[in-house]
């Protein structure tokens, strides 16, 4: 979306066995994990929740940098700092605890205003109406989702190597990936693609020499004109699931895997609903503040509040 500003503001009854002893309930499926950080589990549900609640502008920045995996990597780094702060007892400091409590209050206030107070002001019908009346804002170009492995040449650092050594290493990696592909025998081509993707991502994490290595070489969904010319030409001519030969750019030697292609078209309403709502909330900011003031006046009149002005200095 072009214009986007963020407003701050069963129990299942089980049969009995013959002895009338209740049969043990089937265990609930364990939540899917996306990461484990020093024993702290990060679930797929938590990641999806945080991702879905990103502002459109921030999400687009992450999509350009590797998508949800890039967001996860950034969140993990944040959790590492938080874990370190807690380990050192920093969260117990008086001023820090006060700030944390204030932030918690602020988050509760903002969410209540946005989700409850503002609900009648920006309804789902309003969101749908804006979406229908502004189709040009939701057009997206053709995109490809790619992963890569890059080996660089350089004279410094622990990974220093000549161009010849870099080329030899990328050729070795390519040969290993191709051998794995040939060893994968299945009539299910989609299964083969999935296995190739997993193996390629593992190889990227092991060998690739850029920031995308941590996310398995994932470069996200990208339109034409984003990559280096040689990289772009190779990537856009691949079929989904196919890997390129060695591609040389100014950044080094690459292997490229085309994960998928997405044709040009209109973004579905479900993909942009949150962003449209944020935009409309911003447009209706004065109406929302009027509603907030009305509510606080009503609550002030019906609540028991005692002031001690003599203690205000």
List the domain range (segments joined by +) for residue 280: 33-138+271-311
Percentage with pLDDT > 70 across the chain: 90
Give the residue from 165, 178, 239 showing the smallest Cα distance to 209: 165
d(CA 281, CA 273): 12
- Residues 254, 152, single domain; the answer is yes
With cut-offs at 50, 70 and 90, classify the pLDDT of residue 149: very high
pLDDT at 24: 60
259 with 146, same domain: the answer is yes
Please tell me whether residues 163 and 226 are part of one structural domain. Answer: yes
- pLDDT above 80: residue 18: no
**pLDDT tens digits, 235-252:** 999 999 999 999 999 999
**pLDDT reading at 104 higher than 90:** yes
Which residues fall within 8 angstroms of residue 91, CB to CB, at 6 or more apart? 85, 97, 100
Single pTM value for the model? 0.59
And the tokens for 301? 């009149």
Query: What pLDDT shows up at residue 19?
Result: 41
Q: Given its phi and psi angles, is residue 49 left (phi above 0), alpha (psi -120 to 50 degrees) or beta? A: alpha
212 token code pair: 């995308």
Taking 50 as the threshold, does the pLDDT of residue 4 lie above it? no
Is residue 256's pLDDT more than 60? yes
Mean per-residue pLDDT for 208-220? 88
Average pLDDT over every residue of 17-45: 73
Which of 231, 236, 240, 237 lies closest to 197 in space, CA to CA?
240
For 284, the enclosing helix (H) or strand (E) is none
Per the structure, the count of domains in the chain is: 2
H/E stretch holding 35 reads strand 33-37
Q: The domain that contains 256 carries what CATH number?
A: 3.10.50.40
| Residue 221: per-residue pLDDT | 87
Residues 134 and 146 in one domain: no
Give the mean pLDDT of the chain: 86
Per-residue model confidence as pLDDT tens digits over 156-192: 767 788 999 999 999 999 999 999 888 877 767 888 8
75: alpha, beta or left, given left = phi > 0 and alpha = psi -120 to 50?
A: alpha
52 inside domain = yes
Q: Do residue 45 and residue 126 come from a single domain?
A: yes
- 23 falls within a domain: no
How far is residue 236's CA from residue 217's CA, in Å, rounded to a whole number?
17
Q: Are residues 156 and 258 in the same domain?
A: yes
Q: Report if residue 301 sits inside a domain.
A: yes
């Amino acid at each position: 979306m072009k214009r986007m500003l963020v407003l701050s503001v069963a129990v299942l009854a089980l049969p009995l066995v013959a002895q009338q002893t209740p049969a043990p309930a089937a265990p609930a499926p364990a939540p899917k994990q996306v990461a484990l950080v020093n024993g702290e589990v990060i679930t797929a549900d938590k990641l999806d929740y945080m991702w879905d609640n990103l502002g459109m502008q921030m999400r687009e920045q992450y999509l350009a940098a590797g998508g949800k995996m890039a967001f996860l990597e950034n969140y993990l780094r944040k959790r590492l700092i938080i874990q370190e702060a807690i380990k050192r007892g920093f969260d117990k400091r008086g001023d820090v605890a006060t700030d944390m409590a204030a932030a918690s209050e602020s988050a509760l206030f903002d969410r209540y205003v946005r989700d409850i107070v503002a609900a009648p002001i920006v309804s789902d019908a309003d969101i749908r109406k804006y979406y229908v009346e502004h189709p040009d804002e939701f057009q997206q170009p053709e995109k490809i989702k790619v992963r890569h492995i890059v080996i660089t040449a350089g004279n410094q650092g622990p990974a220093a190597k000549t161009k010849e050594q870099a080329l030899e290493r990328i050729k070795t990696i390519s040969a290993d990936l191709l051998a794995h592909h040939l060893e994968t025998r299945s009539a299910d081509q989609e299964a083969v693609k999935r296995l190739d993707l997993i193996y390629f991502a593992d190889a990227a994490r092991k060998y690739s020499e850029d920031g995308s290595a941590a996310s398995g070489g994932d470069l996200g969904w990208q339109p034409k004109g984003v990559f280096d010319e040689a990289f772009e030409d190779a990537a856009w001519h691949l079929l989904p699931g196919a890997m390129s030969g060695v591609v040389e750019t100014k950044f080094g030697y690459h292997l490229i895997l085309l994960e998928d292609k997405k044709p040009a078209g209109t973004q579905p309403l479900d993909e942009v609903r949150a962003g449209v709502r944020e935009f409309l909330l911003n447009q209706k900011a004065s109406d929302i503040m009027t509603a907030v003031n009305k509510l606080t006046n009503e609550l002030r009149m019906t609540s028991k509040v005692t002031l001690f002005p003599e203690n205000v200095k």
